[in-house]
Amino acid sequence: MAMITGLSGNEIFCLQKQGLTPGDLVIGNSVISLGLLNSIGSGIKTLIGGEVHPVTQLIHEGRQRAYGRMLAEAKHHGGVGITGVSNDLIFHGTNVEFLAIGSCVHQAGAKTEHLEFSSSADGQALYCQMDCGFTPRQFVFGNVAYSIGVGGGIIGSFRSLARGEIKEFSRIFNETRHLALKRIKAEAREVKANAVVGIQTSILPLAGMQEMVMIGTASYHPVLPEVYRQNPITSDLTNEEMWNLIHQGYMPVQLVLGVSVYSLGLVGGITAFFKSFVRGEIHELTSLIYEAREQALKHIAEDAKRNGADQVVGIKTYVYNLGGGIIEFLAIGTAVKKMSGVGTVSEQLLPQAIIRDQDTFVNTADTTSIALLNQPTNASSILSVVVGLLVFVFWVIYMAVIVFHR
């Protein structure tokens, strides 16, 4: 039977340079009902803000089942490892499917009784990692399902009447974001790795909540000090970027996160709403987003300092519209520092490790839903918060009048 692989020509070329040959595509999946998620989460997420532990656990187990079934297929095909492992959630109406996909690789003379490694890195990225001195061990992930909750919502609603940072929301979001990072490190320690490289972060809406998930490759690097066995280094740099830095003697030490949640406030919301009908800059929104960005970057600088980094590179920023005139600003980067003994095997990176494969099939069906996850505050959301707050204010006045007359 002909081999069926998900590896591209460039990936096959790069893996061959590391003594690996392509194998079959392997798949694992698990489907659960969204009704189950709702029933577990609805009674909890409305009480307090932060992580919804039963939902986190349920999603974690679903992802693990899919991953485990993919591993079983790879063992059946006699693979020495799996590259390009993904672990996605796909919505099918009222059900959600956990889907793990990767491609087997083989090695001449290797024992096939067990898999030696699994990696989220594709063939090109895996070449870069190995040329940097990393030995891949296992695909790892860390996830957290969370909500603001009624407690945070009530406090936040009052705080959102005033312009500026809503510290209750910032605290909840900051804590939950770091939980995913903490858990991916824990999985790396279990397989005796001292690094997690090539981390990719996603935020997904799920049954009225959100899930943040980080996936990456737990690896071992021989020059890293012993301290990193207990506190593995983490990096969300692309593997090509990491190769260039390590070639210069820099090692990533920590993926750093900065989160700030800001409200335009009642007065600012009304002003910005009316200004949105006139051409020109809306200064209230400009300054709000600027302040949120500065606060998030301040958190990143503090995080990097705690890890003794020389600099933070590859910073990416995202603005999320939480509704009601409230925005979250999220900044992610990798703290790096100079280390002795750090370098690459090759003097130059292979062109085949850099060339990006062109996608010959473009699916535009889901672009709208994806785009809506990352949108700045707009006039319609400002209008909604203005109307909502005005109704709230009139209700308070009405109740006060009734109490006074009694």
Q: For each of the chain's 406 residues, which pLDDT tens digit applies?
A: 678 999 999 999 999 999 999 999 999 999 998 777 766 655 554 445 678 888 899 999 999 999 999 999 999 999 999 999 999 999 898 899 999 999 999 997 766 567 899 999 999 999 999 999 999 999 999 999 887 654 344 444 544 445 577 777 788 788 888 899 999 999 999 999 999 999 999 888 877 778 899 999 999 999 999 999 999 999 999 999 999 999 999 999 999 998 888 876 544 444 444 444 445 555 666 777 788 888 889 989 998 998 889 999 999 988 877 666 677 888 999 999 999 999 999 999 999 999 887 777 766 654 443 333 444 434 444 444 444 555 455 555 655 556 556 5
CA angle 14, 19, 23 (to 5 degrees): 75
The CA distance from 72 to 27, in Å, is 9
pLDDT at residue 55, rounded to an integer: 87
Structure tokens that stand for 55 in this block? 């939902």
Span 28-42, pLDDT tens digits = 999 998 777 766 655
The CA distance from 257 to 330, in Å, is 7
Span 115-153, pLDDT tens digits = 899 999 999 999 999 999 999 999 999 999 887 654 344
Phi/psi-derived region of residue 265, left when phi > 0, alpha when psi is between -120 and 50, beta in every other case: left
pLDDT at residue 8, rounded to an integer: 94
pLDDT at residue 150, rounded to an integer: 40
Q: Is residue 304 within 8 Å of residue 297, measured between CB atoms?
A: no
pLDDT at residue 370, rounded to an integer: 36
The CA distance from 188 to 177, in Å, is 18
The CA distance from 72 to 292, in Å, is 46
- Collect all residues with Cβ–Cβ distance below 8 Å to 320 and sequence separation of at least 6: 203, 327, 328, 329, 330, 373, 374, 375
Structure tokens that stand for 292 in this block? 């949120």
Per residue, the 3-state secondary structure of 218-243, as one string, reads EEECCCCCCHHHHCCEECCCCHHHHH
Residue type, 367: T
